[in-house]
Amino acid sequence: MSLRYDEVAEILKIIDSSSCDELIVETGDMKLVVRRNAAPNYIAPVAERAVPAAPAAVVPQPVRAGQPATVRKTSGQMEVTAPMVGTFYRSPSPDAPPFVEIGTVVRPGQPLCIIEVMKLFTTINSEFDGRVTQIGAEVGDLVEYGRTLFVIEPV
């Protein structure tokens, strides 16, 4: 599989608008390395590169494929769903308290959780006024696009 020009351009736009300093995308036949303020960016066929494998990164919290929690939304309640695939975190750091708990009253724009994708952290904010009644993922769960993360009832 190789990347098309428009896919590479989209990746560069995302990196440019983030605080990410390096991104490496590797498929079976190519490797794309994007670095900010470092060595030049390049795309090289796998057979031509002689890049040693990077050591495994230390992950502060276990990443696991989470079983979707049983979330039951009743009439009038709203769902906050995962806008992307990634690792679910309830707090900004392992030693910080969670953004919200069951029973927390939230306002639009208030942080609910973070989803990490390839060391890029995206804060998921509430779109609704209401009270959190259910949390559909555990810390470290691998969540899929569209998975219900929170159920909020109007107050």
> Do 39 and 83 have their domain in common?
no
> Do 144 and 82 have their domain in common?
yes
Q: Select from 104, 118, 119 the least CA-distant residue to 150.
A: 104
Cα separation, 133 vs 23, in Å, equals 37
The lowest-confidence range among 30-39, 103-112, 141-150 is 30-39
Q: What is the pTM of this model?
A: 0.57
DSSP strand E in 13-128: where?
A: 22-26, 30-35, 42-45, 78-81, 86-89, 105-106, 111-117, 120-125
pLDDT band (50, 70, 90) for residue 102:
very high
Q: Is there a contact between 34 and 11 (Cβ–Cβ < 8 Å)?
A: yes
3-state secondary structure (DSSP) of residue 111: strand
Cα separation, 23 vs 111, in Å, equals 26
Which CATH number goes with the domain that contains 88? 2.40.50.100
> Do 44 and 98 have their domain in common?
no
Tokens read off for 6: 């428009």
- Rg of the Cα atoms in the chain: 19
pLDDT band (50, 70, 90) for residue 69:
low
> Do 93 and 142 have their domain in common?
yes
Cα separation, 52 vs 138, in Å, equals 35
How many domains does the chain fold into? 2
Average pLDDT over the chain reads 77
Bridge partner residues of 87 (DSSP): 116, 142
> Per-residue pLDDT tens for 11-61?
777 777 777 777 777 777 777 777 766 444 444 444 444 444 444 443 444
Domain assignment of residue 61, yes or no: no
Q: Is there a contact between 131 and 151 (Cβ–Cβ < 8 Å)?
A: no
Domain span at residue 85 reads 78-153
Domain assignment of residue 53, yes or no: no
Q: In which residue are the tokens 């351009």 written?
A: 9
